């Protein structure tokens, strides 16, 4: 495991900066240390779909592929821990523990992608918003646990436009649905970004998820 340490290096990016362009040669892989990045696909006519949200500890890049398949964009200031691809692949071949770990992470990402397919294909705009807030809320809850009463507070790491790209909606629809959830007391807002969820179970219900907490029992 510490063999990884010997070939690693760090890279910093500013909010808004593009880390990798789709189609570009990619000679490294890495993982997010701090900050948030997005993985997006773009069609010729400009339609965009976010296909991944990269939070700290998430992996970027694909061993065995020379060319990036997606755009990676830093949404906040970002620090990444990188490995040149060739040495990393060599290590993968030699160290089962590393490839097992990577397999596990990839399976998690696959589950997340599949859960998102349900959101994109079958949920209403309101449910989509509630689903996104649930996911961000849950991941941030791991860090910022709050008073036991299932009240949750977190910072939205995405603009309305980025949320729209994630949800397959327009930014206007995102804005309207957030306003509606706020009007009805499902969430509260301070400024545009700080979200308070007074009743997380209620939010999950709006997302159309089973009451038991969503994915993977």
Residue range at the interface with DNA (CB under 7 A); choices 17-25, 106-114, 120-128, 206-214 = 120-128
Instruction: Collect all residues with Cβ–Cβ distance below 8 Å to 206 and sequence separation of at least 6.
Output: 126, 127, 130, 181, 186
Q: Output 22 or 34, the one with its CB closest to its own copies.
A: 22
Give the CB-side neighbour count of residue 137, counting CA atoms within 13 A: 26
Asked if 46 is part of the footprint of DNA (rule: CB under 7 A), the reply reads no
Asked if 159 is part of the footprint of DNA (rule: CB under 7 A), the reply reads yes
Strands 188-190 vs 78-84: parallel, antiparallel or unpaired: unpaired
Q: Output 35 or 165, the one with its CB closest to its own copies.
A: 165
Site of interaction with its own copies (CB under 8 A): 23, 39, 41, 43-45, 47-49, 51-52, 62-65, 67, 69-70, 92-94, 96, 99-100, 102-104, 106-107, 109-111, 113-118, 120-122, 167-168, 208, 210, 215-217
One DSSP character per residue, 45-79 reads TS-EEEEEEE-TT-EES-TT-SB-SSEEEESS-EE
Report whether 81 contacts 57 (CB < 8 A): no
Residue range at the interface with DNA (CB under 7 A); choices 21-29, 31-39, 72-80, 184-192 = 184-192
Q: Output 16 or 96, the one with its CB closest to DNA.
A: 16
Q: Output 81 or 162, the one with its CB closest to DNA.
A: 162
> Residue 204 CB, nearest distance to its own copies (Å)?
12
Angstrom CA distances, 213 to 110, 143, 187, 209, stand at 19, 17, 18, 7
75 φ, ψ (degrees, to nearest 5): -90, -30
């Amino acid at each position: 495991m510490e063999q990884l340490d010997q070939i690693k290096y760090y890279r910093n990016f500013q909010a808004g900066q593009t880390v990798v362009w789709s189609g570009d040669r990619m000679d490294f892989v890495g993982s997010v240390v701090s900050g948030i990045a997005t993985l997006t696909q773009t069609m010729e006519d400009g339609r965009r779909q976010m296909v991944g949200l990269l939070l700290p500890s998430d992996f970027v890049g694909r061993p065995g592929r020379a060319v990036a398949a997606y755009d990676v964009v830093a949404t906040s200031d970002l620090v990444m821990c990188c490995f040149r691809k060739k040495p990393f692949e060599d290590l993968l071949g030699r160290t089962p523990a590393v490839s097992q770990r990577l397999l596990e992470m990839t399976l998690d990402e696959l589950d997340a992608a599949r859960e998102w397919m349900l959101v994109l294909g079958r949920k209403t705009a309101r449910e989509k918003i509630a689903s996104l807030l649930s996911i961000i809320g849950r991941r941030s809850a791991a860090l910022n646990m709050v008073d036991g009463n299932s009240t949750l507070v977190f910072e939205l790491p995405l603009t309305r436009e980025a949320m729209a790209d994630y949800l397959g909606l327009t930014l206007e629809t995102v804005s309207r649905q957030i306003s509606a959830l706020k009007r009805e007391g499902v969430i509260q807002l301070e400024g545009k970004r700080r979200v308070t969820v007074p009743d997380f179970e209620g939010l999950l219900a709006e997302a159309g998820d089973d009451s038991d907490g969503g994915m993977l029992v």
